[in-house]
Chains A and B, each alone.
Chain A
Amino acid sequence: MKQATLDALLNARAEKRAVALVTELASADEALVFADGRVEGDLAPTAEIVEQARNALRHNRSTSVVVGERRYFIHAFNPPLRLVIVGAVHIAQPLVQMARVLGYDISLVDPRGAFATADRFPGVRLLDDWPDDALNSLGIDARTAVVTLTHDPKLDDPALLVALRSDAFYIGALGSKRTHASRRERLSEQGMTEQEIARIRAPIGLPLGGRAPAEIALAILAQMTATLHGSELA
């Protein structure tokens, strides 16, 4: 790897931009391919390889490919998965701790100042905007999970409406079956279809049986992980 490539790669990582490194394995010639198809480097990859590199980013899967006589390694460097939590409630505390170990980049949204404090959530990105504004400004993409925990329709619903119109890979809402039934009605009145609403995992989490906040956090993260990898448990 050339020093210039290493520098550009580290730079893209620092800016949390998705980038694929394409290396021709005989010569070690290389190029960086960005998600928008922009190419940087000495290697001039064919359109086919650029497309494969973008695919590798989309599926977050590094792979080696053979084109003609040459073999290339496509190394997908995606920014970390993101978790947006709405509601700085008790369950959010173990959820933040565990999600951190899993490598998530975490944002915690709660407009109620008493809840989302740096004391209760040290080192977490806290947003005190209204949840729909917060989610819109964060930009929810296919590598983002959204979890609502407030139980309060005023806060949860606006977040869910934004999440349902996004590519979020996971949308979960805390609350009982009965709570979710009335939530469905409200979202349907807001114009969401049955099919769209069905994306919400509620009651949230895999049915592990635990009721302690940490156990619920574990159930949520287990379901997120299963969904991410397309496991049958999801």
Chain B
Amino acid sequence: MAENAVAGFEEADEILRQAAEWRAAGRGVALATVVSTWGSSPRATGSQLVVDDTGAFRGSVSGGCIEGAVVLEALEVIKEGKPRLLDFGVTDEQAWGVGLACGGKVEVFVEPVA
């Protein structure tokens, strides 16, 4: 947990290394990245989450509100091999049925690592 609390370098490295490890193990991998935020979204632009084809993940793109939905989208991205741009926010009720309790908005880019 201590390493996860450190902003920036260590965390980013962990996620990239995890992506490389899962790839080396022959797994399908997708990388989710926060590309923009509005209001009081909990994670900064550039925060990342890596997902493998079993749904295992590491990192975060919110305070825990949307990770579940992002992982599900990531599994589709791994299958299709095509990127997706996802929008989450309080105003966005129907999209994935999840929103940010904090009242912020966040845009997450999900791409295959291949």
Known interface pairs A28-B111, A64-B36; A101-B2 also in contact (CB < 8 Å): yes
Instruction: Select the stretch in A1-9, A113-121, A171-179 that faces chain B.
Output: A1-9
User: Which of A27, A73, A80 is close to B8, meaning CB atoms less than 8 Å apart?
Assistant: A80
In the complex, what distance in Å separates the CA atom of A103 from the CA atom of B14? 13
Q: Which residues of A contact B35 (CB under 8 A)?
A: 25, 64, 73
- 0/1 interface trace, chain B 37-64, chain A, CB 8 Å (1 if under): 0000000111000000000000000000
Is the beta-carbon distance between B2 and A103 smaller than 8 angstroms?
no
- Give the A-B pair count, Cβ closer than 8 A: 68
User: Which of B5, B13, B109 is close to A13, meaning CB atoms less than 8 Å apart?
Assistant: B13
In the complex, what distance in Å separates the CA atom of A157 from the CA atom of B8? 32
Which of B13, B46, B114 neighbours the largest number of chain A CB atoms within 10 Å of its CB?
A: B46
In the complex, what distance in Å separates the CA atom of A27 from the CA atom of B107? 16
Is the beta-carbon distance between B45 and A10 smaller than 8 angstroms?
no
- 0/1 interface trace, chain A 26-56, chain B, CB 8 Å (1 if under): 1110000000000000000000000000000
In the complex, what distance in Å separates the CA atom of A26 from the CA atom of B83? 7
Q: Which residues of B contact A170 (CB under 8 A)?
A: none
Q: Which residues of A contact B44 (CB under 8 A)?
A: 62
Which of B8, B13, B112 neighbours the largest number of chain A CB atoms within 10 Å of its CB?
A: B8
The answer to the question of B6 belonging to the interface, with a C-beta cut-off of 8 Å to chain A, is: yes
What secondary structure prevails in chain B residues at the interface with A?
mixed
Q: How far is the CB of A24 from chain B (nearest CB, A)?
A: 10
Q: Which residues of A contact B85 (CB under 8 A)?
A: 25
Q: How far is the CB of B13 from chain A (nearest CB, A)?
A: 6
The answer to the question of B16 belonging to the interface, with a C-beta cut-off of 8 Å to chain A, is: yes
The answer to the question of B23 belonging to the interface, with a C-beta cut-off of 8 Å to chain A, is: yes
Q: How far is the CB of B2 from chain A (nearest CB, A)?
A: 7
Residue of B nearest to A79 (CB): B9
Is the beta-carbon distance between A101 and B111 smaller than 8 angstroms?
no
Q: Which residues of B contact A23 (CB under 8 A)?
A: 109, 111
Q: How far is the CB of A41 from chain B (nearest CB, A)?
A: 14
User: 12 interchain pairs (CB within 8 A)?
Assistant: A1-B111, A1-B113, A3-B23, A6-B23, A6-B113, A13-B13, A25-B83, A64-B45, A73-B33, A75-B33, A102-B6, A103-B8
List 20 additional contacts besides A6-B20, A103-B9; criterion CB under 8 Å.
A1-B112, A1-B113, A2-B114, A3-B23, A3-B113, A6-B16, A13-B9, A13-B13, A13-B16, A25-B83, A62-B44, A64-B45, A73-B33, A75-B46, A78-B8, A78-B9, A79-B9, A80-B10, A101-B5, A103-B6
